[in-house]
Structure 1
Amino acid sequence: MPQLNPNPWLFIMILSWLTFALIIQPKLLSFTPTNTPSEKISTSTKTLPWPWPWI
Structure 2
Amino acid sequence: MPQLNPSPWFFIMLITWLTFSLIIQPKILSFVSTNPLSNKAPTTYNTTPWPWPWT
The TM-score range, normalised by the shorter chain, is 0.7 to 0.9
Give the letter aligned to residue 29 of structure 2. L
Alpha-carbon distance between aligned partners in 1 of 2:53 and 2:37, rounded to the nearest angstrom? 43
> How high is the TM-score relative to the length of structure 2?
0.78
Aligned: 1:26 with 2:26: yes
4+ runs of 1 displaced by more than 2 Å?
Answer: 1-4
Give ranges in structure 2 of 5+ residues lacking alignment.
none
> How high is the TM-score relative to the length of structure 1?
0.78
Q: Name 1:51's counterpart in structure 2.
A: 51
Q: Name 2:37's counterpart in structure 1.
A: 37
Give ranges in structure 1 of 5+ residues lacking alignment.
none
Q: C-alpha displacement at 1:6, in angstroms? A: 0.5
Q: Which moved further from structure 2: 22-31 or 35-44?
A: 35-44
Alpha-carbon distance between aligned partners in 2 of 1:31 and 1:4, rounded to the nearest angstrom? 40
Identical pairs, percent: 65
Any idea what the Cα deviations from partners look like across 1:11-50, whole Å, max 9, x if unmatched?
0011000000001111111111233121221121111121
Alpha-carbon distance between aligned partners in 2 of 1:54 and 1:28, rounded to the nearest angstrom? 54
| Superposed CA RMSD | 1.5
